[in-house]
Amino acid sequence: MEEKLDNKMPCLLISFVVDNGPSMTKERLHTLMEAFQRFAEGEKSVRLEWELLSFDAFAPTINKSFESDELTPVAADRFPLLGRTVLTAVDRLTARAKTLRDGGEELYRPWMFILSDGFTVDDMTEATARLEAMEKGGELLYLPFKLTPKLLTERLQCLDRSKHIVELLQGQTNGFFSFVQHMIEQRGALSPDVGIKFAKTDFEGWAVL
């Protein structure tokens, strides 16, 4: 994770869970990582720590620097495990938040963005339940996105029922990051105890609700 700005400001933790399963082409992942690099290099209005977690068969891959665009699909004989990756991301956010609070630092509510190509081989029930519980408890804001018009497995239906999975339109990666940047700017303009808001119009042109 990386830090920006004065360490006396409240800190915002962001976790991006990104699908790099076999259905994702290297070209699409390259475009996505280029967008992550631009996001990481841009100026932010709040102090941030962020990281990206991608799929693997046994343990998620964690990218903290965004200095490399070499995020590649998992091998054909391995399986995308979105549920496990989400749970790992939640564990890492929870642990980091505790460390910062124990050190006397003030935090905004952490965020998680999930970008899935619509497929996973593991069960999503536990991950979805944990996301729901944390959001209801004010511990997390999570937003799931799909990179395909339709979900490719019923295993993701529980996540879609919990919080509708927004479709990120093909070629609109920059629209997604503009949305994230707008959220960050809004967050920086408000006190930590005030939640951010967004409307349907914020998704126009780059996503389908």
* Residues of the chain above pLDDT 70, percent: 89
C-alpha–C-alpha distance, residues 2 and 62, integer Å? 13
Q: Which H/E stretch holds residue 53? A: strand 47-54
Walk me through the domains of the chain, giving residue ranges and CATH numbers: 11-208 (3.40.50.410)
- The residues, any chain, with a CB within 8 Å of residue 106's CB and separated by 6 or more, are 10, 11, 192
What is the tens place of the pLDDT at every residue in 49-92? 999 998 766 678 887 766 555 666 666 566 778 999 999 999 99
| 50's tokens | 């962020």
Give me the residues paired with residue 116 across strands: 146
Distance of CA 127 to the CA centre of its chain: 14
Q: What is the pTM assigned to this prediction?
A: 0.91
